[in-house]
Amino acid sequence: MKKTLAKLADGRELIYFDTDESAARDAPDLRPLDRVRSHPELRRDEATGDWITIASHRQDRTYRPPAGACPLCPSRDGRLSEIPAADYEVAVFENRFPSLAGGAGRCEVVCFTPEHEARFADLTPAAARLVLDAWTDRTEELSALEGVEQVYCFENRGAEIGVTLAHPHGQIYAFPFATPRTAKMTAAAAAHRAATGRNLFEDLLSGARAATERVVTAGEHWTAFVPYAARWPYEVHLYPHRRVPDLTCLTEAERAEFPGIYLDLLRRFDRLFLLPGQEERAAPAPYISAWHQAPRTEGAELALHLELFTVRRTPDKLKFLAGTESGMEAFMNDVAPETAARQLREARS
């Protein structure tokens, strides 16, 4: 992998990742940009202890531009974007409208491909592996920043999720705190260790592999399964068989197997909602794909894993977070996890 560092016109960092060692990514950013002046504020909710980010400058962020004005496409034919190069494989840059900044974390955008109409599921295994390598690189670099407690790599896909840029991309947040969900996992893992003497996430994986009705697919190094108490209609967790805290600790064999399994999962999600006579691209599933990595402190019991879920529950119905979920964080699932796993198994190509 070749890594090329660059600067955007306003001083933000831009990084190109290439499989081609001869790739030249030296085009300058010619846009007349002012320096980014964002001052997100962290406030603690005294009722719950959760940290809330106040980032009012994000009200002015780019919102659903036409394809011809996409800021994530390469700069071509006189049109300048966030990517000065005329082409790229994977590009990562500091978000111009960050939720976290300065001494309170960092936000980055990850462009998976230069092709505007593509999906992550359209990538080749080699291209998906390059994205994994980029996630790993950024996890290592951002974890080393002063004040960063947890690095979160994720993708939001689909207007139903709230995506404002259609170009295939994800984000990376370097949080100055452990997120609320991670804090819950940490507490649950500690209680499980105290009660059983075992690691919670190793037991979750072994339990799922033993209860084969919830396994979607598995390889030599990874297993994808629907959790016993899934919150979302279609939710899959992908675990490496060997417990590690974050992406930087994966072996070459684990990295090599990941793209095939992950691309297969994404394609299964899209095939879930095909109606008779539809072509495969007719109903791409909106989804969130979230890497859970151990925080810097109090993370010894946590295991790296990816959680993939969709807000769609049928081809024409969405799972809305209404009164119980949004108001009380009490999830109600319309699809039995065993049924979801069976449907995903049957959705193979």
Query: What gap in Å lies between CA 177 and CA 298, rounded to an integer?
Result: 11
Q: What count of other Cβ atoms lies within 10 Å of the Cβ of residue 269?
A: 24
Edge-to-edge, what's the strand order for the sheet holding 13-18?
Answer: 2-7, 13-18, 90-94, 106-111, 169-175, 150-157, 287-292, 305-310, 234-240, 222-225, 215-218
Q: Is 169 a catalytic residue?
A: yes
Let me know: does 235 contact 227? Beta carbons within 8 Å.
Answer: yes
Let me know: does 17 contact 129? Beta carbons within 8 Å.
Answer: no
Query: What gap in Å lies between CA 204 and CA 207, rounded to an integer?
Result: 5
Task: Classify burial at 23, counting beta carbons within 10 Å of its beta carbon; exposed 0-12, middle 13-18, buried 19 or more.
Answer: middle
CA 124-130-132 angle, 5° bins: 105
Please list, residue by residue across 207-243, b when 16 or more beta carbons sit within 10 angstroms of its beta carbon and e when fewer do: ebeeeeebbbbbeebbbbbbbeebbbbbbbbbbbebb
Q: Phi/psi of residue 334, each to 5°?
A: -85, -10
Say how many residues make up the chain.
Answer: 349
Candidate list 39, 116, 167, 169, residue with the active-site label: 169
Residues 6+ apart with CB under 8 A from 30: 9, 80, 84
Query: What gap in Å lies between CA 234 and CA 243, rounded to an integer?
Result: 24
Return the active site residues: 169
